[in-house]
Amino acid sequence: MEPLHLGSCSIYVGTCSWKDHTRFFPEKLPDPQKIAFYAEHFPFVEVDSTYYGMPSARNAVLWAERTPPGFLFGFKAYRVMTLQGRHEDGRRVPEEPTPELFQQFSEGVRPLQEAGKLAYVLLQFPDWFLPWKQNAKAREPFEYLAACAEWLPGLPLAVEFRNGYWFQGERAEQTLRFLSDHNLAYTVVDEPQVGVSRSAPDVQAVTSELSVMRFHGRRTDVWAQRGVGVADRFSYDYSTEELQPWADRLAALARETKHLFVGFNNCHHDFAVNNAKQLMQMLLDL
């Protein structure tokens, strides 16, 4: 599947992960063949399993071999890299973010980068990662963002925030200018709005030649609840009326960037694949 093109921008629409879409694949299709089948329908996928464990160079080689030329992979950064030191079940992760850890991550995705199939690495920070230093033991947030860019040299990077404090008042301009100065792509989000401390606002901005947009659904009833499983938090099927305005807005983003990646993270049932196909058709109809 080829990306869409609007002017000089290539638009890649896909989903965040591929194995979750059980009803999307032919019955009894072996797991190793699923990425090839997926690539017949979409031009890119975001690998989110690397949030829970470091990427495997061996897997990267196999994925490069099993996908057609031009197909691209995004990767979600390992959770320790974005200062998230716990599993969802509460077990503490012993690692600390170090340059060596970032280098290990880089080595895991290098085969895809060398094959020309690496779209971006997503640094998704938690809602408690604020744009100011919280206490003497905390890291200075802007300095840490700069360190992430330094420790992942040569990789296309995107940053996603999970609270609105980064965009209150004059801080919005500071945040976007910092991302632009460090060639970090701002990640536009559509997500439940449950207050400034737990939700990123609907900000449409471009800070590099690469742009990322992620759809998380609109489950306001469970978005901020601790202990809610991923399947429940992202169980949301966008309606046509909800997606149509985004087609127009994405077209506007495309006029300001060269590569736009749109990932649906509502990976429950087949919501993500269906919504991704709907949006692709809407963009074609513009």
Give mean pLDDT, residues 106-118.
98
What letter represents residue 149's amino acid? Answer: A
Q: Does residue 70 surpass a pLDDT of 50?
A: yes
Angle of CA points 230, 106, 144, to nearest 5°: 75
Q: Are 189 and 200 in contact (CB under 8 A)?
A: yes
Task: Say if residues 157 and 75 touch (Cβ distance below 8 Å).
Answer: no
Mean pLDDT of 91-119: 89
pLDDT interval class at 87 (50, 70, 90)? very low
Question: For position 88, what pLDDT does the model report?
Answer: 41
Task: Give percent helix, percent strand, percent coil of the chain, each to the nearest 5.
Answer: 35, 20, 45
pLDDT tens-digit series, residues 165-202 = 999 999 999 999 999 999 999 999 999 999 999 999 99
The chain-wide mean pLDDT, for the chain, equals 94
3-class SS of residue 47: strand
Q: By C-alpha distance, which of 13, 10, 4, 5 is closest to 272?
A: 13
For the ranges 39-43, 73-77, 88-92, 209-213, the lowest mean pLDDT is seen at 88-92
Percent of the chain at pLDDT > 70 equals 97
Mean pLDDT of 66-84: 96
Task: Give the max Cα distance, the chain.
Answer: 55
Confidence of residue 93 (pLDDT cuts 50, 70, 90): low
- This prediction has a pTM of 0.95
Distance of CA 89 to the CA centre of its chain: 22
Residue type, 58: R
CB atoms within 10 A of CB 151: 18
Give the number of C-alpha atoms closer than 13 A to the C-alpha of residue 174, restricted to the C-beta side.
Answer: 11
The lowest-confidence range among 5-9, 23-27, 105-109, 119-123 is 23-27
Q: CA-CA distance, 240 to 217, in Å (whole number)?
A: 13
